[in-house]
Structure 1
Amino acid sequence: MTAERRLLASIHDVSPRFESQIDALVDRLSARLGGTRFAMLVVPDHWNRAPLAADRGFQARLRNWADAGVEMFVHGWSHLDDSSHANAADALRARHLTAGEGEFLGLDQGEALRRMRRGKALIEEVIGRPAAGFIAPAWLYSEGTRSALTEAGFALAEDHLRVWRPASGAVVAKGPVITWASRSRSRQLSSLAAAAVLRQAMRRAPIVRVAVHPGDTSVPRLLESIDRTLATLLRGRKPGRYEALAAS
């Protein structure tokens, strides 16, 4: 890893279901980062309602973005939590940390591996190259999911606090992701406050991560905060690529 400070930006929940919102986010990040130096987290069948395999037009767009330099991560399979959580702590996390979208929080190793391999095969066929890695929906992982990552052959994985290489377990970046929540006014306000604090607190960090979601495009205050955060963090820092963490 070089000493150069970097900003890793990503668009989550990339799916035919949110095509217009994804377009808006691509335009926004491209303008502020000076090109396609960001990642996309692709959901193969968002909420089992938007199968990527059936949408040739969106497949072509993903391939074009990948050809232009956008890094493509596998982002679960459906992004929908269909597990029953016997563990009280996991049930609490599933209820309060995400709106029923922590797909991999309750999966055992076998089912997690099946979904990972299925998503990896589809996305790699679409983009014509290896996926950059795997990031669980809502950054929530069961122990089985973490174990399955090594077998699935992903170069990188990420949760809310770190990026690591599943093959070795080596942590290659630390620090919270700066992100925003749009699904309620209280969550909007708390995410705005967190972004304001973190973009100052992390100004000297060697690597910072910023993640945006389709829902952000519907809330002008969130878009203003995203712009302010990117502008602050790009002072003395360049847009980076996750692949540098895999290779370092």
Structure 2
Amino acid sequence: MSDFAPVRPAVCVSLHDVAPATWSRCETLLAALAKVAPVPRTLLVVPDYHRRGDGLAPWYRAALAAQLEAGDELTLHGLFHLDDAPAPTSLRDWLHRRVLTCGEGEFAALAHEEAAARLRVGEAWFRDAGWPLYGFIAPAWLLGPDAWQALDQSAFTYTTTHGHFHLLHPWRAVPAPCIVYSTRSRWRLGLSLARNACLTHREAPLVRLALHPDDALHPTVVHQAQRLLEKLLQERVAMTKIGFAFALRTALASAPFTAAA
């Protein structure tokens, strides 16, 4: 565990897989969170979700612009959210890329040149929309060595993995446990609900509540997420991820730090 903590422990609420095809479910989750408190959220946007070619229709552009205006953050979440890299060659990679992530870990095994190119396309997509961009979050939080190198050479301010928040340039990492649900089967859903009900993470400088569009289809998930957010806000201040990055960078400038492994 890191010996660093920001001025106050923080919670980041994030909504993954934001795209035209998922937007109605995203709206359901945003409304449910708003019933708890008007906290800022980080929306993880996929420019060409599952290669549907939906583009940036006027209604969708307006919807995301409204979230920015309300104080939310938009961040890049892959380009396609599909793992189209060469097939896994080990059992471990096959489990991660084909079973646990259902073939959506886009940056898990990309070569450096391809990873860098997709980052540039994503940056250009945000720039063309006129939106600020600070963070990149890999689909399924999977970043292969070449993708890490491409990200390190980019202008992004931060990224996150499943268990850590990573400030880039210079690189620093702090523990940031993630509350997340798996709803692809009944047993996964039950396990997620049971596990998340027991989590405390009292000593972590940052806790992340990460929701996905299909969570909106499960009232038990929505209800538990609301109650967990309510509980977290009793002990933590809500920030967007870029807000936490700025707080972390400020604290690093005035305090010694030991990077997480």
Q: Which residue of 2 aligns with 1:125?
A: 128
- Within-5 A mapping of 1:36-115: 37-53=40-56, 55-88=57-90, 89-115=92-118
Do the aligned partners of 2:177 and 2:201 also contact (CA within 8 Å) in 1? no
Partner-residue secondary structure (3-state), 1:52? coil
Do the aligned partners of 1:203 and 1:232 also contact (CA within 8 Å) in 2? no
Cα deviation, 1:143-167, whole Å, max 9, x if unaligned, reads: 1111111222111101101111232
CA displacement at 1:32 relative to structure 2: 1.8
Residue identity opposite 1:122 in structure 2: W
CA displacement at 1:50 relative to structure 2: 4.7
CA displacement at 1:57 relative to structure 2: 1.5
Q: Say if 1:181 and 1:114 are closer, same or farther in 2 by CA, change over 3 A.
A: same
TM-score (norm 2): 0.87
Q: Which residue of 1 aligns with 2:15?
A: 11
CA displacement at 1:239 relative to structure 2: 1.1
Give distance in 2, aligned partners of 1:18 and 1:161: 25
Specify every segment of 5 or more residues in structure 1 that has no aligned partner in the other structure, as ranges. Answer: none
Q: In percent, how many aligned pairs have the same letter?
A: 34
1:226 aligns with 2:228: no
Q: Number of paired residues?
A: 242
Give distance in 1, aligned partners of 2:20 and 2:207: 28
Partner-residue secondary structure (3-state), 1:135? coil
CA displacement at 1:220 relative to structure 2: 1.2
RMSD of equivalent CA atoms: 1.6
What stretches of structure 1 move > 6 A for 4+ residues in a row? none
Do the aligned partners of 1:15 and 1:52 also contact (CA within 8 Å) in 2? no
Partner-residue secondary structure (3-state), 2:36? helix
1:158 aligns with 2:124: no
Q: Is 147-156 or 236-245 further displaced after alignment? A: 236-245
Partner-residue secondary structure (3-state), 1:10? strand
Residue identity opposite 2:215 in structure 1: D
Give distance in 1, aligned partners of 2:53 and 2:218: 23
CA displacement at 1:67 relative to structure 2: 2.1
Cα deviation, 1:48-82, whole Å, max 9, x if unaligned, reads: 115333x2210121122112211111000110111
Do the aligned partners of 2:215 and 2:221 also contact (CA within 8 Å) in 1? yes
Give distance in 2, aligned partners of 1:193 and 1:175: 20
Residue identity opposite 2:89 in structure 1: N
Q: Is 26-35 or 222-231 further displaced after alignment? A: 26-35
Give distance in 2, aligned partners of 1:19 and 1:242: 21
1:214 aligns with 2:213: yes
Q: Name the structure where helix makes up a greater proportion of residues.
A: 1
TM-score (norm 1): 0.91
Cα deviation, 1:4-41, whole Å, max 9, x if unaligned, reads: 12110000000000121011111122232324x11000
Q: Which residue of 2 aligns with 1:236?
A: 235
Partner-residue secondary structure (3-state), 1:133? coil
Q: Is 175-184 or 79-88 further displaced after alignment? A: 79-88
CA displacement at 1:193 relative to structure 2: 1.7
CA displacement at 1:99 relative to structure 2: 1.1
Q: Is 42-51 or 10-19 further displaced after alignment? A: 42-51
Q: Which residue of 2 aligns with 1:194?
A: 195
Match of 2:6 among 2, 15, 23: 2
Q: Say if 1:159 and 1:211 are closer, same or farther in 2 by CA, change over 3 A.
A: same
